[in-house]
Structure 1
Amino acid sequence: MATHHPNQIAFKEGVQYLFHSWTALKLAVDGEWGGHDSVAKRDWFIETIVDYFSEHGKDVDTFDLEDILIQVMNDEFSIMLEDKSEQHIAKVLEQLFLECTHGRYELVQTLKQDSQKISGAVKGSKSQKNGDDEDDDSSDDDGEHEDGETEDMDVEMGESSSSAGPRREKPEPIIDEDGFETVVKKGKRR
């Protein structure tokens, strides 16, 4: 294509910032809910929305836009948006388009700052959790902020070891003469 107008460039940047900070989409991409190509799907999603606005201009139908957001999130990332975030995203997109067509880029800057705060907070929490800035791929093994990860962290931090000492091997089950396992409460055994 030919050279893009600064308003078009600013609009696309704003959409990128908005989509990078949209919680549902961010979780889907970080968790690879759309598969290993989740980042590429997000980028395609951004292009689709920019193209939609290029085609429809100021005649964008809000409900149609919300339906596109819902459908892509469902089809590409298997997410059912129950938080109504598509309504907020659609309103911001419309406002962003309107401002950019008038050569005003304040919202783009606000979205950029919000996106940087979110990505900075995520990077900060990852480096705190890992203890250093090792390879980002190593944090994938920890799970994606699931409940199991917290339990693992507690064990690593020594919560269970302070009361029980080193981990014990799981004892062999006690089977009675009829072939049934005898259940022993954990709190009573020492």
Structure 2
Amino acid sequence: MSTPTAAPPAPLVLFARGTIARLALWPALRVAVAENWGGPPATSAQKQTWLASVLVDAFEPALISSSSSPDPTPASPTPTPVSTPATEAPDADYVALTLLQVLEDEFDAVLEDGSADTVAQEIVGLYGSIARGEPAAEARVREWEARAETWRGKKVQVQEVVGSEEEWESEEDEEDEEGEGEEAPQLRDAGAEARSRPEPVVDEDGFTLVQGKGKGRAPR
């Protein structure tokens, strides 16, 4: 007979909910998933879920440590050895680096708008609020979840930079511009520059045809 698995601590569950919701609100990740930059639709969505699990796993030891409430009056208090450091949560720099690395490795996109820092700071801030047992933590998570549900299926305004030369914005309804502080992400497709440059075409006279801007040819 199998032993039932213990339910995860409530603080960890709340943090996981908040992390999932906050990532769902991140325009850069929403674009990457919606445009299937991480592969087929199911694969891209799975990568978003996987990213949330990576962050939750990174914070789990610190959350479990902070949620443990030792007996305030133990019969035989045992001092903590100096050589054993307290469990520390990842900082905002670690979280931001993780976000950027996953976007580049899994979605082939380079983010250049600084929004990863904002997301990282808010996730770390949520951890601190939960670790301190603040009632506002659950209210914040509920707010993020409500906004994520509202934005589900909506398109995101994008500025994509191909190499260092081209920049464009996708068509977007004006009503979707109310991003509550979320600006259009600036994403650079790491492989788009090579794909966007056509191979030179040489005519029978030995001239290279110039493509893209009208008709013409230039000597080789």
In which range does the TM-score fall when normalised by the shorter chain? 0.5 to 0.7
Moved more, 52-61 or 11-20: 52-61
Matched, 1:90 2:120: yes
Q: 1:109 to 1:64 in 2, by over 3 A?
A: same
Aligned pair count reads 130
Percent of aligned positions with the same letter in both sequences? 25
Which deviations, in whole Å up to 9, do the C-alpha atoms of 1:141-166 show, x marking residues without a partner? xxxx944x99xxxxxxxxxxxxxxxx
**Mapped contact 1:96–1:108 kept (Cα < 8 A):** no
Structure 2 CA distance for partners of 1:40 and 1:122, relative to 1, 3 Å: closer
Match of 2:18 among 14, 20, 26: 14
Indicate which of 62, 68, 74 corresponds to 2:98: 68
Q: Is the 8 A contact 2:38 2:108 kept in 1?
A: yes
Which one-letter code corresponds to 2:19 in the other structure? V
Do 2:37 and 2:107's aligned partners in 1 also have CA atoms closer than 8 Å?
Answer: yes
Q: How many angstroms does 1:118 deviate by?
A: 4.8
TM-score, length of structure 2 as denominator length: 0.52
Q: CA RMSD in A?
A: 2.6
CA contact 1:58–1:98 (8 Å) conserved in 2: no
Which range moved further: 102-111 or 20-29?
A: 102-111
Does residue 43 (structure 1) correspond to residue 41 (structure 2)? The answer is: no
Match for 2:117: what amino acid?
Q
Whichever structure has more helix as a proportion of its residues is: 1
Residue of structure 2 equivalent to 1:34: 38
- Conserved 8 A contact 1:17-1:111: yes
Alpha-carbon deviations, 1:40-66, whole Å to 9, x = none?
000000000000112465342332222
Would the alpha carbon gap of residues 101 and 84 (structure 1) be closer, same or farther in structure 2, given more than 3 Å must change?
Answer: same
What are structure 2's unaligned runs of at least 5 residues? 63-86, 156-168, 174-220
TM-score by length of 1: 0.59
Residues 23-45 of structure 1 deviation map (CA, whole Å, 9 limit, x = unaligned): 11111111111111111000000
- Mapping for residues 35-184 of structure 1, pairs under 5 Å: 35-36=39-40, 37-55=43-61, 58-121=88-151, 146-147=170-171
Give the Cα–Cα distance (whole angstroms) in 2 for the partners of residues 70 and 21 of structure 1: 16
Report if the CA contact (8 A) 2:25-2:148 is conserved: yes
| 2-structure distance, mates of 1:105, 1:23 | 28
- Paired AA for residue 45 in structure 2: V
